[in-house]
């Protein structure tokens, strides 16, 4: 119940941000040089069709009225109409969004699997050999392009070793899961350096605190002290770092989906860009922003769940 109120309050506070997002997305179309109607229909459209669309889109009305119409449509769940696919944008996104969400989840899971043990090891054996190697990881990892990493993983684990499919998403759940391994791993490799760095730093901080000495003084095992006491405390500060970076790297799903031919919204966005399908690009941009907002919300909720000191009121 406490959490429900907390989440509701958060949702209400998000309204201005969501309005802002819709505003930016609306104005994207204004950046296109020339007439939006011509752009939407393509250069081969007849003048009649262009004129009809202009009226239909309300391009003859003042700008603020156009925005209100756009916002009204959004509130009804209407993301626009794709003239290239001849179908509502909402429908297109509905089929591809689950793939992207799966990708984000598997990427996050892999990130945790890679980063948490390494960071804990580095912090527990501070200044040891393992620590020095692990500390170099973020520096190398920062400049690693996700798409190139994906190609290399395909090359080694897909083509040479044949362990995982090189492309696609399959049709059944086991196929989905297997298809998600390499893409998820790619995301994880770009995300984990940041998490390793942050988690190692907070683990070192936490391990020198008094309550760790208290825990040691109880005579419980060192692993219990590190995992039961230190990690939970270090997670409190690192979960925010992870959340912010998942939000930031939501953009790289776009590239990873492209490399692995996954039919998610990122792939859809690139295809729509190449096909100059503006309403779809606009709709997906909006969905991406909403995903970031949702990830941030989840981060806040996780943070509040991990740290009893956060006031839920």
Partner 1 sequence: MSAATSVGPVLPAVSGTRGRRRGRWNAPLVAGLVLFALIVLCALCAPLLTSYDPIQQSLKDAFLPPGSPHHLLGTDALGRDVLSRLLYGARVDLRVGVLAVISPFVIGSLIGLISGWFGGWVDAVIGRIVDMVIAFPFLVLVIALVFAMGPGTTSIYTAITLVGWVAYCRIVRGQVLVAKEQEYAMAARASGLPTWRILLRHLLPNVILQAFVFSMSDIVLTLLAIVTLGFLGLGVPPPTPDWGTMIQEGQQFILTKWYMSTIPGLAVVLTGLALALIADGIVEKANK
Partner 2 sequence: MTAPLLEVRDLHVDIPLSHGRLHAVRGVSLSVGVAESVGLVGESGSGKSLTLRALLGLLPRPARIVSGTVLIDGEDVTGLPAKQLHRRLTDTMGMVFQDALTALNPVMRVGDQIAEAPLRKLGKSRSEAKAIAIDLMTEVGIPDPERRYRLYPHELSGGMRQRICIAIALSTKPRLILADEPTTALDVTIQAQVLGVLRRLKQEENVGLLLVSHDLAVVSQTCSRLYVMYAGKVVESGTLLDLVTAPKHPYTFSLLRSVPDPDHRVARLLTIHGQPPDLSEAIGGCSFAPRCPFAEEACHQREPVLAPVGSAAGAVIRESACLRVDTAERWTEMVSEETVSQQ
Q: Interface with partner 2 by CB under 8 A: which residues? A: 208-211, 213-221, 224, 228-229, 232-233, 236, 306-309
3-state SS of 16-59 is HHHHHHHHHHHHHHHHCCCCHHHHHHCCCCCHHHHHHHHHHHCC
Kindly give, in sequence order, each residue whose CB lies less than 8 Å from that of residue 124, ignoring residues fewer than 6 positions away. Answer: 203, 207, 226
**From the list partner 1, partner 2, none, partner contacted by residue 209 (C-beta under 5 to 8 A by kind):** partner 2
Q: How many CB atoms lie within 10 A of CB 208?
A: 11
Kindly give, in sequence order, each residue whose CB lies less than 8 Å from that of residue 261, ignoring residues fewer than 6 positions away. Answer: 167, 168, 267
85 near partner 1, rule: CB under 8 A: no
What sign does the dihedral 259-147-278-180 (CA atoms) show? positive
233 near partner 1, rule: CB under 8 A: no
Region of 61-69, 80-88, 270-278, 305-313 interacting with partner 1 (CB under 8 A) = 270-278
Instruction: Choose, by CB under 8 A, the member of 11, 105, 144, 310 that binds partner 1.
Output: 144
Instruction: Choose, by CB under 8 A, the member of 38, 69, 78, 285 that binds partner 1.
Output: 285
Instruction: Choose, by CB under 8 A, the member of 12, 75, 140, 161 that binds partner 1.
Output: 140
**From the list partner 1, partner 2, none, partner contacted by residue 270 (C-beta under 5 to 8 A by kind):** partner 1
**Please, which contacts does 34-40 make with residues 24 or more away whose CB atoms are closer than 8 Å?**
35/59, 36/278, 39/276, 39/278, 40/83, 40/278, 40/279
99 near partner 1, rule: CB under 8 A: no
Burial (CB < 10 A; 0-12, 13-18, 19+), residue 43, is exposed
Instruction: Choose, by CB under 8 A, the member of 51, 54, 126, 178 that binds partner 1.
Output: 126
Closest distance of CB 228 from partner 2, Å: 8
Instruction: Report the distance separating Cα 288 and Cα 101, nearest Å.
Output: 11
Q: Which residues bind partner 1 (CB under 8 A)?
A: 16-17, 20-21, 23-24, 28-29, 31-33, 126-127, 135, 138-140, 142-148, 151-152, 154-155, 159, 194, 197-198, 201, 204-205, 240-241, 244-245, 247-252, 254-255, 258-259, 269-270, 273-274, 281-282, 284-285, 288-289, 291-293
């Amino acid at each position: 119940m406490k959490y429900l109120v907390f989440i509701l309050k958060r949702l209400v506070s998000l309204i201005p941000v969501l309005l802002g997002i819709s505003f930016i997305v609306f104005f994207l179309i204004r950046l296109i040089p020339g007439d939006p109607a011509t752009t939407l229909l393509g250069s081969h459209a007849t003048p009649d069709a262009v004129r009809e669309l202009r009226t239909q889109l309300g391009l003859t009305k003042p700008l603020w009225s156009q925005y209100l119409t756009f916002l009204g449509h959004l509130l009804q769940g209407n993301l626009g109409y794709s003239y290239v696919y001849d179908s509502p944008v909402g429908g297109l996104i509905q089929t591809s969004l689950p793939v992207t969400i799966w990708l984000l989840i598997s990427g996050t899971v892999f990130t945790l699997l890679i980063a948490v043990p390494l960071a804990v090891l580095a912090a527990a054996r501070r200044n040891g050999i393992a620590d020095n190697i692990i500390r170099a990881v973020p520096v190398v990892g920062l400049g690693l392009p996700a798409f190139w990493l994906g190609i290399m993983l395909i090359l080694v684990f897909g083509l040479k070793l044949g362990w995982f499919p090189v492309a696609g998403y399959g049709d059944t759940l086991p196929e989905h899961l297997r298809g998600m391994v390499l893409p998820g791993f790619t995301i994880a490799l770009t995300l984990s350096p940041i998490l390793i760095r942050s988690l190692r730093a907070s683990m070192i901080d936490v391990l020198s605190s008094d309550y760790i000495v208290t825990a040691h003084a109880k005579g419980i095992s060192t692993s219990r002290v590190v995992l039961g006491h230190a990690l939970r405390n270090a997670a409190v500060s690192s979960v925010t770092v992870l959340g912010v970076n998942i939000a930031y790297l939501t953009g790289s799903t776009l590239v990873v989906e492209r490399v692995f031919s996954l039919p998610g919204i990122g792939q859809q966005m690139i295809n729509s860009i190449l096909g100059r399908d503006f309403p779809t690009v606009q709709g997906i941009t909006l969905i991406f922003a909403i995903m970031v907002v949702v990830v941030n919300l989840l981060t806040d909720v996780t943070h509040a769940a991990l740290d009893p000191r956060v006031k839920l009121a």
